[in-house]
Amino acid sequence: MTPIDLTDVTKYVETHIGGFHQKRIASLDGLSLIKVLKRKNPYLFKAKYLLTSEEIVRGLVDAHISSNEETVFGDWLEGLAIFINEKVYGGRKSGINGIDLEFDKEGKRFIVNSKSGPNWGNASQIAKMKSDFKTAAKTLRTGNSGLQVVAVNGCCYGRNNSPDQGDYFKYCGQDFWDFISGDTNLYTELIEPLGYKAKEKNDEFQESYAKMINKFTLQFSLEYCDDNGAINWKKLVQFNSSTSSH
């Protein structure tokens, strides 16, 4: 074990955090009004008494952004976790399906499926992860039947007071970062480097966001508002839900 040097973590973040911000902007650039209108519940907009095109458009775009950012940043944090674990324990990104990280510690082989937060999946998704763990353990024991394999679901933030899940362990937040780094304080020390050029990058994002809101608001008004400016709810619902709508 080699203790983590926070300077290395800072350099990694400064070098790679731009990729996260670029993907945020790229996600907006690739968005279309038709795509987001198809995904969302038009009845909810009516029930919430939304009266303007901009209110509806912001609701659509903000929901997309929230979901996308969670996924993109989760993937980015996975890369950071692998980098840190490699420095400390010589870990590596796994080539086994469903496994993100492999490393040896205390004479055991740890296989890690990483997620952003603790409440990430339904019953079928968790069952799939457990199946992946079993398959991975079987694969790793081929040619080394005595290998002790320990499966871990690691979550970058949050808490879990029952880490032993029977078939695997679930470590969240402080416990996860301590598990992969051996540093119980790392979970708080990560915060400062993550703010590298955050304002500058967010200003770029906000500029793209404003353009998207303006463009979609105009498109929505032209397509789904009557001549008097009122939202044509029947037309909107037909577009979203009619069997003859394409």
**C-beta atoms surrounding 50 within 10 Å:** 16
Structure confidence at residue 188 (pLDDT): 94
Structure confidence at residue 128 (pLDDT): 96
Q: Which of 34, 40, 43 is CA-nearest to residue 60?
A: 40
Structure confidence at residue 144 (pLDDT): 83
Q: Which of 11, 25, 40 is CA-nearest to residue 241?
A: 40
The string of DSSP codes covering 143-155 is: T-TT--EEEEEEE
CA dihedral 112, 113, 119, 122 (to 10 degrees): -130
- Rounded CA gap, 47 and 212, in Å? 25
Structure confidence at residue 121 (pLDDT): 84
Structure confidence at residue 1 (pLDDT): 82
Residue 1 covered by a domain: no
Residue 62 covered by a domain: yes
The string of DSSP codes covering 5-37 is: PHHHHHHHHHHHHHHHHHHHHHHHHT--HHHHH
Return phi, psi of residue 172, to 5°.
Answer: -125, 150
Residue 34 covered by a domain: yes
**Domain total in the chain:** 1
The domain in which residue 102 lies consists of: 6-241
Which stretches of the chain drop beneath a pLDDT of 70?
Answer: 245-246
Contact predicate 245/238, CB 8 Å: yes
Q: Taking every pair of C-alpha atoms in the chain, what is the biggest distance, in angstroms?
A: 76
Residue 162 covered by a domain: yes
Residue 246 covered by a domain: no
Residue 14 covered by a domain: yes
